[in-house]
Chain A
Amino acid sequence: MKNKRRLLFRALTVCILVAVAAVMMVIGRGHTIYFDNKTATVDGQEYKAFQRVEVFVGEERVARLAKRERGMASCVGQRFSFTMDVTENKGDEPKHYEYTVSVPYGMDGMVVSVPALLAGLPEEAWRSEFVPQVVQEEEEEEVVTDEFDMDGSEF
């Protein structure tokens, strides 16, 4: 009886830890969101870039974009809320927009095309995955694995 209870307790502990780990993996997944203020072409139709776009996350301004510029912000979790102040043409009053977009779990970096998003196009039109440019092969990094390192400065 005592052994059974102990086993049950251990199994329960493991289950709780696994569940907490799973929740952490979902709520803590980080993404980088890139905002593109570039003219977008969807199904042959052109959506012009704006004169100026300011992106805010909460109170903080994360990007201030002129035409053909890209800005970025960090996002934790699978939903990302932001606001934008968009000046369509020079001299216009900026218009305020609020958005909450979903971010796919597997996407490290998501590019949001601001003109396509504001045109009310479907998700596939304004969202794309950020693919880092292939960089030239770096030089091999020297790995130091000296266990007799005497330097305690880090500690």
Chain B
Amino acid sequence: MNSNKTSGQKLLGFLAANSVPIMFILIIALCIPVVGFSPTFLLNEIVTRLSRNAFLILSLLIPIMAGMGLNFGMTLGAMAAEIALIFTSDWQIWGIPGIVLAMILSIPISAALGVLCGRILNAARGREMITSYIISFFMNGVYQLVVLYMMGSIIPIIHNNIKLPRGYGVRSSVDLTRIRKCLDNLVAVNIAGVRIPVLTILIIVAMCLVIVWFRRTKLGQDMRAVGQDMEVARAAGIDVERTRLISIVISTVLAGIGMVIYLQNMGDMATYSSHSQIGMFCIAALLVGGASVDKASIGNVFLGVILFHTMFILAPSAGAKITGNEVIGEYFRVFVSYGVITVALIMYETKKRREKAGIGQQLAAAQKEEGK
């Protein structure tokens, strides 16, 4: 009886801990027969989106490790990548060299923005997520000032197909046809009608290995210590502020590189909006994979990308089939993205409050014991 109860509790615990991925699996299982997509089409779409987004989402892991929560400031890295891509397009650097150059150019911009973001987050300790979210809005304004007014007037932009007709500022859309899918197509194989971008996947796997290795380094262990308890880490001689700052810089730089991979797959860049939702959707995908604000793994990244994007692929058609209106499906997926983040934040706060209450109860019990 007792053992039954224990396994029942275990099952409940498992369901509670994995409620978000389970919910998504159920939604997808319900949508697939309704939509009726062929497995080849679905697999092709999932593989494409996996190779497009996984690197970006991997960039979120390090700040979580350092206890800084979900880094909404990854948008800053995305902006840096966009600036780099504007330059490489204007200088007409095509193909793989164009992608590599954009990645290299994005690094100093991302690093500088990461340092700025990290310093602000150190000053706003305990409120990192909302602060990074607002920083991304603030930096979006600065980005617009640079791209819309300084490029072409102060910062040289040569080609008219990039400049606005008025002579300065960058057009709403920058054509990346010359680098489109260069990375994805360089080494690609076709297995049973599913195109697999081997090189891009190898880059993602290499990044995963780097993260695994990084966790074992001195800096990685410092980050984990800081993430578990800042005061204990400080007492152990770790420079907490510096460690936190480095985690944000690494995350922003990786987000910049990830954004270049993302945009080379798209082949087109919406200059003023490509970056604005990227943080939100990456975070939503990570949470869908079963991560939380204080715990995330590489497995969460891949499960999240697969579940979240399968839902993205299915939702519009499912919406159209069920309600006769495709827009309903579009709304559904946006609503789910924001909803899953809200649920994760509520769960995190509830857990924190429970832990605090538990500590308080333990303390009260200990005092009672002493009083006796």
Contacts and interface: CB of A to CB of B under 8 A. Distances in A.
Nearest to B92: A30
B312 interface: yes
A119 B76 CA distance: 56
Interface string B269-308: 0101110111001000000000000000000000000000
Contacts of A146: 273
A143 B171 CA distance: 7
B165 to A, nearest CB: 4
Given A108-B92, A143-B272, A152 B172 contact: no
B101 interface: yes
A140 B96 contact: no
Contact of B330 (A24, A25, A108, A151): A151
Given A28-B94, A30-B94, A155-B281, A144 B164 contact: no
Given A24-B101, A76-B95, A143 B164 contact: yes
A139 interface: yes
Given A17-B104, A21-B104, A155-B312, A27 B97 contact: yes
A149 interface: yes
Contacts of A17: 104, 107
Contacts of B178: 30
Of the four ranges (under 10, 10 to 19, 20 to 34, 35 or more), the interface on chain A belongs to 20 to 34
A153 interface: yes
A141 B316 CA distance: 30
Contact of B101 (A28, A140, A150): A28
Contacts of A140: 164-166
A141 B167 CA distance: 11
Contacts of A153: 316, 330
Chain B interface size band reads 35 or more
Given A30-B178, A143-B164, A143-B169, A150 B334 contact: yes
A29 B101 CA distance: 11
Contacts of B101: 21, 24-25, 28
A154 B120 CA distance: 31
B348 interface: no
A143 B274 contact: no
Contacts of B96: 28
Nearest to B178: A30
B22 to A, nearest CB: 23
B93 interface: yes
B140 interface: yes
B91 interface: yes
10 interchain residue pairs of minimum CB distance = A28-B97, A30-B94, A24-B97, A28-B93, A24-B101, A138-B165, A145-B272, A30-B92, A21-B104, A155-B281
Given A145-B272, A149-B277, 12 more contacts: A24-B104, A28-B100, A29-B93, A30-B92, A30-B95, A74-B94, A76-B97, A143-B164, A147-B140, A152-B334, A152-B337, A153-B330
